[in-house]
Structure 1
């Protein structure tokens, strides 16, 4: 992949966003060097690892330093790591141990995690050595060696002697006249006393400087000079012994360095996985299936999705034909769609999740070439055109069936006639090379070329002519008008200018524009109907899944019931035969035999179906497999039951009629009030929201509302989960669905009640 293509598609911005979720500069370095992979096997392996990692719970990472340089130095003979570096290492080893424990517990049934866990090693002996040598303040402990212990003992004794003698000096009768303060201080690592500069001759010793004001002179009295000399010598020996201790630990670190490096690299890998996981949560990211074509469902531009979760998604399909020529007005989303495909491709091939819906498919490419015209200045058109041609000329010979080519504003920046011809020539060349192409254009000849092509699919971004706002949707197998007049008018160009421009177009051009307007309107209406159909299809699919799951539960319930009954009956029959044989042997009278038979008849009735069963009627509350519902129809031995949100036909014999609870009535809406059709739960905790929602549904049901809106927001999804769990169990709810974007999107749930 060329660096200039990665830059144009803003791959660097994704990497910068990813860095915001990391815990180490070492991980940031890995991200900085991240580039798209081209091996399908390698990409799938990374995706499999990520998917396994997302199932790990309880993993907490905290900030850790890059220890690679200190590990490298630890291998040098005679090297000595500092106390700070050893504490940094100890912190990392502790984190490795904690991560290994969590990953290891999850790795048993997950091969990718097992491979990861095996690269995390334990270094208990090294951790213990550092802990026993260095204290929490960052000092080498006295017990680090016998020599160090003895030296520090001597130092403390000598320091006490010096302090005692100097304190005695400061207590002399004329101390207030001689000394500026009765304190002992250090100058040049030697103990001194502060003497008034005017009285300095009264203290015989060595002067070690004066205060900034010149009022105080620091003097080392003659009687402590030898003691200070001895102290300096002891401290030098202490420093030497400390270095020996650190060298010994450093050598030990060097012995473990290869294993520590492997563990550290794995820790960085896990930090990267965690960053990808958080990034995915922020954008609603996942991985599409990797196959032989492009079919991205409701894909969002990753950067826009991170900035605004409500970014409008788009469907991008390049399937039977290998090219897409996108037309339509400026500001309609053509360039964003083109960049979205390019950036999503780079991200997936770098094993970074992308904001797409389930069922999306993406092809793996060896190369991604982009020519995106961000320069908009008219004065630069010539230079811009030349730079674009230079760029395209560089990648055309390298394009083949494993290449994705992205061309923004194809044919722009020069004479429209020549630009269109050149654009068609480029497309024909790419067609012969078998490349996958996504191009945008305003030029009519290129639009016509796409309509007649067996290689390229024409498409158009939809635009609402009434509001003059883009819909950010792509319609396929159609072409769109550029809507230059409408866009110009919206940008403030006077109507007089617009009218003059329209009148300058020849009759054939006006007819073409009129036809394009009608085609655009038809296309938009078709897409709206298609969207409604897809939504209905999705709802029916969900209803079917619910029914099939309920049917599976029912069949399993019946199977278990018959299995238990058969087992019980078989056991009873065995006992009955044994007892009968004993009675026949021992019975002395006919009465004894008849008593036995009557008793067994009573027992056998327990295995017989009940002859009397309370009749079930329309409107009755019934129970089926632990779920309750109301009967709305009865036909041919079956009842149509609203079973906790699912309406299905069930054999009447399988139902248990529930007795009415005396005094319990359906909730009523107080007279004179109007039940709400919308409730806002944002800001409530789960328990409060649940109580408010239950009350709201009861009121709406009693008022006869067929549908209501529940606003729960997006957030972390807790409220949404609580709402959906309640709705799935309520017998007053027929079904529910996530709101369409124009209804409020994923922060709203539309609820349809069981109201006739």
Structure 2
């Protein structure tokens, strides 16, 4: 890419924005090296990485990049047999720990974030190295006593010797024998030896070595002879400590040296991940989108915003390269034409750098091999070049270097010289660029270029809308409409006498006046149409909000209905459990009395009646828990409802049985499962007359007992497959004997192995008609509902 073009488009400022989002120097270094790419596949890869990192931020709150240090200097020094200091080693341990955590993070979500996980696979494992460093170096970057047995022994000896030394000196300071000799009872250090301050006149009376004298000469600092050996021992121990610490640091540095290549590869991966994360953070900060890229030179930006402008930025729409290859933007110099050029140029560079662009969803951008820009006053004061000469030098460079797939942005083309020659030169340059198949956007205030654009099939006019009422540009780009200078209108509104303005207007040709008037009318029509479109879009947005609110209310109503049905199903299940308990009590009573053969018939009769009730309540509970089947609806009966009729209740989209009607006949009491509801007559529809309820067929005392005590749920969780199959086989036999049509087998979720074994067994069982996973409220994937053959 052309460096001068990157500079005038302020690409470096985008790098600065990105730097603020990088977490460590590794990522910042990659930001500084960022440059626009030209290969479509590589750009798409970078765009996809940015989009995936945005997803990480959205779903996980960000990428865990804390604790990463730039340890490359330390690693390189270790490779040259340098001895690393404790802080450097601690930084290495912290970095490899953060790297391991990052690799684990992406491995956990590898299917969700495959691109970032691929980068993270280049992070190596340094568990052993980290363990060795942390065993030797404390969190305060100090070599610990536990770094080696020898160091622990030396430091223990140092502490003992140091304690004995201070104890001996303390005895001297507080001894009555030396009281008159001591200047002050304090310990001072001179020449790295512990000394006591002795009055000068007693220097020969005090047994010791003189290490220093005070400035006044009144005090000498002497090392007592009685501690000389202890201090020598201490110095020797400290030297041994230093040697042992150096040995430990050398050993750890050698460990780092052996893993230097893997460490550099890991740091490279960490830098890439930090760089990608920074791009995603910038994307979210700018509310940017991933553009649709192409190599056909087609640009279709919607709602594009210049990324460096602050405050309320007016978004613009730009399209180029499909119907026309060159866009000529005309109008007054204050109209924001330059901002349009810079927006297109900078967003192109951002997109080709793998950055998302601040624009609306669905925006499309072309991938260009070259981007050239001649914007603003780039003249060199040192070279004493004029504005025109400075522009021509850049244009000459563009003409010499341009290829087929190039974007050229020219600000005030042909300006800075005679308008006639300047406009002619501008026209010739646009012809050349069009023949080169370049995509060109040029701004100008030459009217002759408007006419030229109208006559050329590859060139289109455009203008930046200007509000003559406020004398301010609106910054909206109007493609297809040439700009009007509005010079006379602006001059009149700013206070120039009307007579002068009218005289100036008379000097203009009639055709020019007509064209300018036509342009202004077209601009007004476009403004009105845009306002109407925006109003329509606002109405549509409000309607969508209302639709979403109503849909939410409908969903909430459905949820309340499902909760009510689930509650009713729970009540029915409670009734079943209570009935089963009563059945067990009756059976116990039956067994107790059977030996005396008393009241047996009465007990059996009670049991039969209870078995029928159990079966009925069990069926109701299953109906409440399972989704309602979709049978063919019978034709509604054309008569008023009567008690016992089956009816559909419209508000609940379900069926019920009529219990009674009020006196006026306007409301009906309906039972739906365990619920009793009073609903208006208009909300129900009769679909069937009452039918006699069949009693369950109980052929023997054994079947009666099984029906009464049989539980419709079997728990297999925690069992081995073989044990579970034996239990399931017996359970199904009991279910068939009890006349049950549906049961639930709870196998748990786990790895799915037990569920697969259950399903394989059910598939081959001769009395199983169907089976499926339970509803979410019944256990979901942790349970299977089994339908049994009843004939």
Say yes or no: TM over 0.5.
Answer: yes
Rounded to whole Å, the distance in 1 between the matches of 2:532 and 2:384 is: 43
Contact 1:130 1:249 in 2 (8 A): yes
- Give the stretch that moved more between structures: 471-480 or 186-195: 186-195
Matches within 5 A, 1:526-545: 526-530=526-530, 532-533=532-533, 536=536
Which residue does the alignment assign to 2:690? none
Matches within 5 A, 1:222-371: 222-291=225-294, 292=296, 293-304=298-309, 307-308=310-311, 310-318=312-320, 319-371=322-374
Query: C-alpha displacement at 1:625, in angstroms?
Result: 7.6
- Specify every segment of 5 or more residues in structure 1 that has no aligned partner in the other structure, as ranges: 558-598, 616-620, 627-654, 659-756
Rounded to whole Å, the distance in 1 between the matches of 2:270 and 2:381 is: 52
Query: C-alpha displacement at 1:543, in angstroms?
Result: 6.9
Classify the secondary structure of the residue corresponding to 1:462. strand
Classify the secondary structure of the residue corresponding to 2:185. coil
Which residue does the alignment assign to 2:456? 453
Matches within 5 A, 1:404-443: 404-443=407-446
Rounded to whole Å, the distance in 1 between the matches of 2:181 and 2:636 is: 116
Which residue does the alignment assign to 2:637? 611
- Give the stretch that moved more between structures: 2-11 or 48-57: 48-57
Classify the secondary structure of the residue corresponding to 2:465. strand
Which residue does the alignment assign to 1:495? 496
Q: 1:104-127, CA deviations, whole angstroms, 9 ceiling, x for partnerless residues?
A: 222224431331231223322111
Q: 1:441-480, CA deviations, whole angstroms, 9 ceiling, x for partnerless residues?
A: 1111222212222121110000111111111101111211
Q: 1:370-403, CA deviations, whole angstroms, 9 ceiling, x for partnerless residues?
A: 1012469999996221111111101212213211
Is the alpha carbon distance of 1:205 and 1:111 closer, same or farther for their aligned partners in structure 2, counting shifts above 3 Å?
A: same
Q: 1:32-54, CA deviations, whole angstroms, 9 ceiling, x for partnerless residues?
A: 11100111000001111222222
Contact 2:338 2:411 in 1 (8 A): yes
Backbone CA RMSD of aligned residues: 3.8
Matches within 5 A, 1:35-434: 35-56=35-56, 57-58=60-61, 59-62=63-66, 64-76=68-80, 78-173=81-176, 178-179=181-182, 181-195=184-198, 203-209=206-212, 217-291=220-294, 292=296, 293-304=298-309, 307-308=310-311, 310-318=312-320, 319-374=322-377, 383-434=386-437
Query: C-alpha displacement at 1:172, in angstroms?
Result: 2.2
Is the alpha carbon distance of 1:37 and 1:211 closer, same or farther for their aligned partners in structure 2, counting shifts above 3 Å?
A: farther
Is the alpha carbon distance of 1:464 and 1:100 closer, same or farther for their aligned partners in structure 2, counting shifts above 3 Å?
A: same
Contact 1:325 1:440 in 2 (8 A): yes
Rounded to whole Å, the distance in 2 between the matches of 1:234 and 1:252 is: 27
Bigger radius of gyration among the two: 2
Is the alpha carbon distance of 1:376 and 1:504 closer, same or farther for their aligned partners in structure 2, counting shifts above 3 Å?
A: farther
Is the alpha carbon distance of 1:446 and 1:131 closer, same or farther for their aligned partners in structure 2, counting shifts above 3 Å?
A: same
Contact 2:27 2:272 in 1 (8 A): yes
Query: C-alpha displacement at 1:82, in angstroms?
Result: 0.8
Rounded to whole Å, the distance in 2 between the matches of 1:359 and 1:297 is: 8
Rounded to whole Å, the distance in 2 between the matches of 1:482 and 1:388 is: 23
Which residue does the alignment assign to 1:29? 29
Query: C-alpha displacement at 1:546, in angstroms?
Result: 10
Rounded to whole Å, the distance in 2 between the matches of 1:191 and 1:105 is: 60
Query: C-alpha displacement at 1:300, in angstroms?
Result: 0.2
Is the alpha carbon distance of 1:488 and 1:137 closer, same or farther for their aligned partners in structure 2, counting shifts above 3 Å?
A: farther
Task: Give the length in aligned residue pairs.
Answer: 571
Q: 1:512-556, CA deviations, whole angstroms, 9 ceiling, x for partnerless residues?
A: 256324413422431441453376369669979999998xx99xx
Q: 1:658-693, CA deviations, whole angstroms, 9 ceiling, x for partnerless residues?
A: 9xxxxxxxxxxxxxxxxxxxxxxxxxxxxxxxxxxx
Contact 2:181 2:199 in 1 (8 A): yes
Classify the secondary structure of the residue corresponding to 1:107. coil
Query: C-alpha displacement at 1:63, in angstroms?
Result: 5.4
Matches within 5 A, 1:526-675: 526-530=526-530, 532-533=532-533, 536=536, 608=634, 611=637, 623=651
Is the alpha carbon distance of 1:147 and 1:378 closer, same or farther for their aligned partners in structure 2, counting shifts above 3 Å?
A: closer
- 1:470 pairs, out of 468, 473, 477, with 473
Contact 1:451 1:477 in 2 (8 A): no
Q: 1:329-354, CA deviations, whole angstroms, 9 ceiling, x for partnerless residues?
A: 22221101100111101111111121
Rounded to whole Å, the distance in 1 between the matches of 2:640 and 2:300 is: 56
Query: C-alpha displacement at 1:367, in angstroms?
Result: 0.9
Rounded to whole Å, the distance in 2 between the matches of 1:212 and 1:528 is: 94
Rounded to whole Å, the distance in 2 between the matches of 1:431 and 1:128 is: 66
Rounded to whole Å, the distance in 2 between the matches of 1:487 and 1:237 is: 89
Contact 2:404 2:437 in 1 (8 A): yes
- Specify every segment of 5 or more residues in structure 2 that has no aligned partner in the other structure, as ranges: 559-615, 617-622, 624-628, 642-648, 655-681, 686-791
Is the alpha carbon distance of 1:87 and 1:198 closer, same or farther for their aligned partners in structure 2, counting shifts above 3 Å?
A: farther
Q: 1:183-236, CA deviations, whole angstroms, 9 ceiling, x for partnerless residues?
A: 324334322234456765654544444667877654333333343233223222
Contact 2:84 2:253 in 1 (8 A): yes
TM-score, normalised with respect to structure 2: 0.65
Which residue does the alignment assign to 1:643? none
Which residue does the alignment assign to 2:523? 523
Contact 1:37 1:350 in 2 (8 A): yes
Contact 2:103 2:117 in 1 (8 A): no
